[in-house]
């Protein structure tokens, strides 16, 4: 049986913040947009128990990739580190930009700094991201074991990755 090409995109499950999250993410990433906002109706109300007319889902695009934000996640189902999204950055300026934007607390939100390790962070909506410079990707996929080892040792000491420190560690200057 031949399988036709399919579309794949992440679905983020929120309690009630789908629209706010989509608006935030589309403000952070270039080439992004809110595409469709759907609202809960009375259909299935006995199951979803969401206010009729409130936002059910938001289909949005981040840097050309479709995403879905869906409301009605029960409070006892948290987002966790088992799933994260990598942002591969070309240099320190991009790392700094995405790190600063995604760690903005925003009104009524707190950022969990304990989740900031090795380029990983947890944003105000509980979504986990890895902000990784291309040099780390290149070094970690290198056939040179020593280069990989030095990169890993340097990254393990960081919250936000600092490109200069990675380069110096690989060159033996750190």
pLDDT of the residue at 105:
77
Domain that holds residue 147: 78-174
CATH code where residue 18 lies: 3.30.720.100
In a domain, 2, yes or no: no
What CA–CA distance (Å, rounded) separates 8 from 65?
Answer: 9
Q: Assess whether pLDDT exceeds 90 at residue 87.
A: yes
pLDDT score, position 76: 83
**Long-range contacts from 92-100, C-beta under 8 angstroms, 24+ separation:** 92/133, 92/162, 92/163, 92/164, 94/133, 95/131, 95/132, 95/133, 95/160, 95/161, 95/162, 95/163, 96/160, 98/28, 98/129, 98/131, 99/131, 99/160
- Determine the distance from the C-alpha atom of residue 162 to the mean position of all C-alpha atoms in its chain, rounded to a whole number: 19
pLDDT at 18 over 70: yes
Do 55 and 92 fall into the same domain? no
pLDDT for 113? 78
Q: How many domains does the chain contain in total?
A: 2
Among 43, 62, 77, which residue terminates a domain?
Answer: 77
For residue 129, being part of any structural domain is answered with: yes
Q: How far apart are CA 4 and CA 157, in angstroms?
A: 45
d(CA 130, CA 81): 10
Spell out a b/e string for 2-27, using b for 16 or more CB atoms within 10 Å of the CB, else e: eeeeeeeeeebebeebbbbbbebbbe
* Residues 170, 93 share a domain: yes
The answer to whether position 154 is within a domain reads: yes
Q: Of 32-36, 41-45, 62-66, which gets the smallest average pLDDT?
A: 41-45
Clarify whether residues 121 and 161 are in a common domain: yes
DSSP state of 172: T
Q: Is the pLDDT of residue 39 over 70?
A: yes
- Per-residue model confidence (pLDDT) at position 79: 84
Residue 125 sits in the same domain as residue 91: yes
Residue 114 in this model has a pLDDT that exceeds 80? no
Domain of residue 154, CATH code: 3.10.180.10
């Amino acid at each position: 049986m031949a399988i036709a090409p399919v579309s794949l995109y992440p679905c983020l499950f929120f309690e009630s913040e789908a629209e706010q999250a989509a608006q935030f993410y589309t403000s952070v990433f270039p080439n992004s947009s809110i595409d469709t906002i759907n609202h809960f109706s009375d259909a299935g109300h006995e199951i979803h128990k969401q206010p009729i007319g409130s936002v059910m889902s938001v289909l949005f695009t981040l840097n050309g990739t479709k995403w879905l934000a869906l409301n009605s996640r029960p409070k006892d189902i948290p987002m966790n580190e088992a799933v994260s999204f990598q942002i591969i950055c070309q240099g320190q300026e991009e790392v700094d930009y995405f790190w600063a934007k995604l760690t903005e607390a925003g009104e009524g939100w707190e950022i969990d700094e304990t989740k900031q390790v090795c380029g990983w962070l947890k944003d105000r909506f509980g979504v986990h991201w890895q902000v990784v410079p291309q040099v780390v990707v290149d070094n970690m996929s290198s056939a040179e074991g020593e280069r990989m080892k030095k990169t890993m040792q340097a990254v393990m000491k960081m919250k936000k990755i600092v490109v200069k420190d990675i380069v110096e560690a690989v060159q033996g200057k750190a």
